[in-house]
Copies of this chain bind each other. A is one copy, B any other.
Amino acid sequence: MSKKIAILTGGGDCPGLNAVIRAVVKSSLRNGWQVYGVLQGFSGLLDPENKVIEMNEEHVRGILHIGGTILGTTNRANPFEYVEDGEKKDVSSRVKDNFAKLGLDALICIGGDGTLSIANQFSQMGLPVIGIPKTIDNDLASTVITFGFDTAVNNATDALDKLHSTAESHERVIVVELMGRYAGWITLNAGVSGGADVILIPEIPFNMEYVCQKIESRYNKGRKFAIVAVAEGAKPKGASELFSKGKGEEGRQEVVLGGIGEWVANEIRQRTKRDTRTLTLGHLQRGGTPTTFDRLLSTRFGAAAVRMVKDGQFGIMVALAPPNVVAVPLEEAIKNSKQVPHDSDVVLSARQIGISFGD
């Protein structure tokens, strides 16, 4: 039976977005369906004439490995709290009406926390919604992994690789601030894969004394350099909100000024008198060509969403439960975040090979 479905993306850039869109479009067309792309997230559904376009094979040709999203700029507008004429309004019914007018049978929403929460609200209003999780931080409990994360870890590891020779040649401590405000997955994985000496993550409050001890012990052994990987949300033991103010969009901090990386570097410099530099990777982590893994996962997520539309499964989110992609209730999925457990075997392994968490 022919269907009409729409796809939208919300929130920040994430490697693999185009691969998801490609899979949704190709799978839908092969089912004989019509598929529409919604530009600029949910706000596109407030202006369907200009921002909802029918998609064909041509739109998704050659985009499997291209970063960004062909659905134009991401957008965080929330129809339940929409700012119009200087006021916040609930315009969700307009979205619902337009959905009906367009004759749509399903709405596939690719997004993070924010976007999926909105998707869930629409689901509860009766819209046939399917969510595809997009969180580069991999902080969602309902899925083993999300697309974009492998690319981010890869980009961060690549940076750590590059910094090694320079740190060694110049006898320096280099502190690299990586993404991860609430969850340290990127920093943990990249830190281990990139040979960091110290890894500081939000889940394990650190003590500068132990951080400096680790660095000194290296210098004393004749290894006169060190690499410190710090998640943007890492905090010294006892600190409360010291480092979390003044952050940008969704709390993502992309400017070094006053960031935890710089703070840690300053402390190391003062305490050890070692030549210490800092670097904030910021946007470099989330850009570029998605890795092979992310292209595959994105394709699987997109195709699975279309299978679920076919099966009439709504109000759910696709998730990876190896070796399968499964459906989990959207309501539940958005509630459970995933932090690095202190007894995670990655943490244990890191400690075993001598990496310090500053605790």
A interface with B by C-beta (< 8 Å) = 12-13, 15, 22-23, 26-27, 30, 62, 64-69, 73-74, 144, 150, 153-155, 157-159, 161-171, 174, 189-190, 192-195, 224, 249, 254-257, 262, 277-280, 282-284, 286-288, 291-293, 295-296, 299-300, 302-304, 306-307, 322-325, 344-346, 348-350, 352-354
- 8 Å CB contact of A349 from B165, B280, B300, B346: B300
From residue A97, how far is it (CB to closest CB) to chain B in Å? 28
With A169-B68, A254-B277, A277-B255 as contacts: A304 and B162 at CB distance below 8 Å? no
Q: Are A346 and B300 in contact (CB under 8 A)?
A: yes
With A304-B345, A349-B304 as contacts: A144 and B322 at CB distance below 8 Å? yes
Residues of B within 8 A of A286 (CB): 166
Identical chains bound together, number: 4
Q: Are B26 and A353 in contact (CB under 8 A)?
A: yes
Q: Are A67 and B164 in contact (CB under 8 A)?
A: yes
Q: How distant is the Cα of A144 from the Cα of B320 in the complex, in angstroms?
A: 13
Q: Are A13 and B166 in contact (CB under 8 A)?
A: yes
Closest B residue to A171 by beta carbon equals: B73
A-B contact pairs, 14 of them (CB 8 A): A13-B170, A27-B349, A73-B224, A144-B322, A150-B292, A157-B292, A167-B283, A174-B283, A192-B299, A193-B299, A254-B277, A279-B283, A279-B284, A304-B349
